[in-house]
Amino acid sequence: LLCPQHFLTALGGLVAVPLILAKDLCLQHDPLTQSYLISTIFFVSGICTLLQVFLGVRLPILQGGTFAFVAPSLAMLSLPAWKCPEWTLNASLVNTSSPEFTEEWQKRIRELQGAIMVASCVQMVVGFSGLIGFLMRFIGPLTIAPTISLVALPLFDSAGNNAGIHWGIATMTIFLIVLFSQYLKDVAVPVPVYGGEKKCHTSKFYLFQVFPVLLALCLSWLLCFVLTVTNTLPSAPTAYGHLARTDTKGNVLSQAPWFRFPYPGQWGLPTISLAGVFGIIAGVISSMVESVGDYYACARLVGAPPPPRHAVNRGIGIEGLGCLLAGAWGSGNGTTSYSENVGALGITRVGSRMVMVAAGCLLLLMGLFGKIGAAFATIPTPVIGGMFLVMFGVITAVGISNLQYVDMNSSRNLFIFGFSIYCGLAIPSWVNKNPEKLQTGILQLDQVIQVLLTTGMFVGGFLGFLLDNTIPG
């Protein structure tokens, strides 16, 4: 029971990353390829979890796709060279099996692959050299808070657009997640258990606390199915709410193979650009900082001593190796430690590494069955939007929660955090609207500047780091 529990706890984050990237990869009208990306991220996350448990920090920590890479990836794909052609935005003009369309999305994901693989080498060097310990002396809560908060804040547009497909369905999804995770979290559900002296007996299981997102997704999905079967939702493609229907992507399940083996280079040979590499490095730094915090939290929850410096170094180095593999396999993302699974350890009180090994094997298995990835690719768009609104809100709050270790009565600290957050929103917005104002005459340099300055977490995190280490106090 504990093995699938960890898989299901991580499910929301694992599925969300490919779905967020789909539009900028020109894949919004190709759910079959989306399902391949979901299966790939399952498979790679399984490999990385096993590596981390056996060779890395050696704590029961699950690895999965990271939102820290999403912002720089979207910034890179928004460059003029990588913007999707107009015809790929029109479902009636897209032939997903045509070589022209295949090349359009594959060249974009190959560019992401190359950037992730090079940036992951930086993470491996920082980890295995022990440099992470030195860097953490200068990275405090006033750097971490704006960095993590700005991972999610700029994604409000994506969440709002998806939810806006049908606000009724999205609102119900939000209501169910809030109901299960906040109001019913302490309600124990009796489940039958066999074993021990009592043989068959019932045990208390906090179902709503462990699976709030999964339960909400399933119930909202079911409602969309009922509304589709009864023809309550409009069938006209241009009508409001049409994408809430479950039959708009129905052919994906029949098209997806039962068994599909993801392999390195499945989309072709990765390509590398300076702008992409610098952008993903910003994501790598954010991911490393978050992971170090997860290691200490995990050790505390399972009753282990704080991880020694060499274990932390090893953990970060192995995460870099995991990102290298994720890039090679073409998941479109890297991997990092999953905070929600660390939280699940506090609920289950079971800190066995073998449970996480089993969860890693389950992820590998799920990545091999194409129908499973296809099933998740068919989740109605407004249901995804409702989940995004809650998930991104929580990530923002997790970032801000780092300020509990800082005296927020200090005008210095208030200034650093407020200024960093505001600039992390204002500067990327301005650069996106005025890219021509930053032209230096050197194309590669222009692209690097644009990617970095349109990545809010880099802008906010850099300003927080600079000000926190230079302003006395």
Is residue 431 included in any domain, yes or no? no
User: Is residue 82, in this structure, part of any structural domain at all?
Assistant: yes
* Cα 127 from chain centre: 22
Instruction: Indicate the helix (H) or strand (E) that contains 296.
Output: helix 274-301
Parent domain of 46: 2-405
Q: What is the model's pLDDT at position 254?
A: 83
Contact (Cβ atoms closer than 8 angstroms) between residue 35 and residue 333: no
Q: Are 458 and 143 in contact (CB under 8 A)?
A: no
How many domains, in total, are found in the chain?
1
Place of tokens 């990102």: 323
> Residue 331: helix, strand or coil by DSSP?
coil
Phi/psi at 190 (5° precision):
-70, 130
Is residue 271 in a domain? yes
Write down the pLDDT at residue 424. 94
pLDDT tens string for the chain (473 positions)?
A: 566 777 777 887 888 889 889 888 988 888 888 999 999 999 999 999 999 999 988 888 889 888 889 989 998 998 888 888 888 888 778 888 888 888 989 999 999 999 999 999 999 999 999 898 888 888 888 998 999 899 888 888 888 998 999 999 999 999 999 999 889 888 888 877 776 566 677 777 778 887 888 889 889 999 999 999 998 888 888 888 888 888 887 788 888 899 999 999 899 999 998 888 999 998 998 889 888 888 888 888 777 788 888 899 999 999 999 999 999 999 989 998 887 777 666 666 666 788 889 889 999 999 999 898 888 888 898 999 998 899 888 888 888 988 988 999 999 999 999 999 999 999 999 998 988 888 888 888 888 889 899 999 999 999 999 999 999 97
Nearest alpha carbon to residue 185 among 362, 399, 346, 401: 346
On whether residue 355 sits in a domain, the answer given is yes
Neighbour-count burial of 231, counting CB atoms closer than 10 A to its CB (0-12 exposed, 13-18 middle, 19+ buried): exposed
Count of helices and strands (H, E) across the chain? 20, 4
Contact in structure between 147 and 464 (CB atoms under 8 Å): yes
Residue 293 has what pLDDT? 82
Contacts of 451 (CB under 8 A, 6+ apart): 72, 75, 76, 79, 275, 276, 278, 279
- What tokens appear for 340 in the block? 């929600």
Buried b (16+ CB within 10 A) or exposed e, 2-21: bbebbbbbbbbbbbbbbbbb
Q: Is residue 77 part of a domain?
A: yes
Radius of gyration of the CA atoms of the chain, in A: 22
How high is the pLDDT of residue 422?
95
CA neighbor of 338 nearest in space, from 96, 4, 109, 45: 45
pLDDT value, residue 398? 83
189-194 and 200-205 beta bridge pairing: antiparallel
For residue 380, is it within any domain?
yes
Distance (Å, whole) CA 397 – CA 391: 10
For residue 419, what pLDDT is reported? 96
Tell me how crowded residue 224 is: count the other CB atoms within 10 A of its CB.
28
- Say what the pLDDT of residue 196 is: 59
| Residue 445, in any domain of the structure | no
* Nearest partner of 467 among 425, 417, 408, judged by Cα: 417
Distance CA 454, CA 473 (A): 30
pLDDT, position 206: 78
In a domain, 436, yes or no: no
